């Protein structure tokens, strides 16, 4: 397929979304340039994490998002049958925070949608792919009081014209009281992707025809959205923390 992620959304600049990369106690870099010391937690105050925050881009939604409203953490199965799609398991652990008054605090109740193709490049519930009514590799979770949501999925396959990727959409409420959406895509290093594509069941399709440096979507900020999975037995796990400026109405507009 050539039509995934055609410009039906928008790619936003570095000053239009925030993703958290640091550890507690680091300095908060506001808007990627000016810095300010985050206020430490005090007794009786909400828990505050002072993290190193750098600006990251939102990326386009693409034509394969389907709002299934399928609330589940393990998105590997086809709900109608319970059968798991083939592929290497990947545990994704998200921490969602909000940037307020130059500090980062957990964002509970945010809705995180995850969707992706299977090991052979097929999306579910897409008529043009003959998968109408199927809902594998789709689902959402709401963040808990610590801003955490966990998913179990598989390492994605590939299809013509795109590098390996997973889609993510976060929906919450902005500071203006209106719905707020952050949509982007998650990627893998070329070395990691090439290695797992040589394993079953992925190797049946062979190497991907498009790598990160040849993917036009990846080149618009994808290097800032890289997952770095760690192997745990026969599966993989990856942590990813995202901080949102809920006052940024340009990012928050529906995608």
Q: What angle do CA 32, 33, 34 make, to 5 degrees?
A: 120
Residue partners of 134: CB distance under 8 A and separation at least 6: 78, 80, 124, 125
Q: What angle do CA 220, 3, 61 make, to 5 degrees?
A: 50
Predicted confidence pLDDT, tens digits, the chain (255 residues): 444 443 333 333 333 444 443 333 232 222 222 222 333 333 444 444 444 444 467 999 999 999 999 999 999 999 999 999 999 999 999 999 998 877 888 999 999 999 999 999 999 999 999 999 999 999 999 999 999 999 999 999 999 999 999 999 999 999 999 999 999 999 999 999 999 999 999 999 999 999 999 999 999 999 989 999 999 999 999 999 999 999 988 888 887
Per-residue DSSP letter, 198: T
Domains of the chain: which residue ranges? 89-244
CATH superfamily of 89-244: Aromatic compound dioxygenase (2.60.130.10)
pLDDT at 34: 25
Output Rg (C-alpha) for the chain, integer angstroms. 18
* Residue 250 main-chain phi, psi, to 5 deg: -70, -45
pLDDT at 104: 86
pLDDT at 56: 62
pLDDT at 167: 98
> Is the distance from CB of 248 to CB of 16 less than 8 angstroms?
yes
Please give the Cα distance from 71 to 140 (Å, whole number). Answer: 5
pTM: 0.82
Please give the Cα distance from 205 to 157 (Å, whole number). Answer: 9
């Amino acid at each position: 397929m050539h039509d995934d992620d055609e410009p039906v959304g928008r790619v936003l600049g570095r000053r239009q979304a925030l993703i958290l990369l640091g550890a507690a106690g680091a300095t908060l870099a506001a808007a990627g340039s000016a810095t300010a010391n985050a206020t430490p937690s005090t007794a009786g105050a909400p828990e505050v994490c002072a993290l190193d925050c750098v600006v990251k881009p939102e990326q386009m939604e693409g034509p394969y998002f389907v709002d299934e409203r399928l609330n589940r953490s393990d998105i590997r199965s086809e709900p109608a049958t319970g059968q798991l799609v083939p592929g290497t398991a990947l545990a994704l652990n998200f921490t969602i925070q909000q940037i307020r008054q130059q500090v980062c605090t957990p964002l509970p109740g945010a809705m995180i949608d995850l969707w992706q193709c299977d090991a052979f490049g097929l999306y579910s519930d897409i008529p043009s792919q003959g998968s109408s009514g199927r809902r594998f590799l789709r689902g959402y979770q709401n963040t808990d009081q610590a801003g955490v949501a966990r998913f179990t999925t598989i390492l994605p396959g590939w299809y013509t014209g795109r590098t390996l990727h997973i889609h993510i959409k976060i929906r919450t409420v902005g500071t203006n009281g209106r719905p707020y959406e952050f949509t982007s895509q998650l990627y893998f290093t070329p070395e990691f992707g090439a290695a797992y594509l040589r394993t079953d069941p992925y190797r049946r399709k062979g190497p991907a025809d498009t790598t990160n440096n040849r993917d036009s979507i990846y080149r618009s900020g994808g290097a800032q959205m890289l997952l770095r999975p760690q192997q745990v037995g026969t599966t993989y796990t990856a942590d990813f923390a995202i901080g949102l400026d809920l006052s940024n109405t340009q990012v928050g507009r529906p995608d």
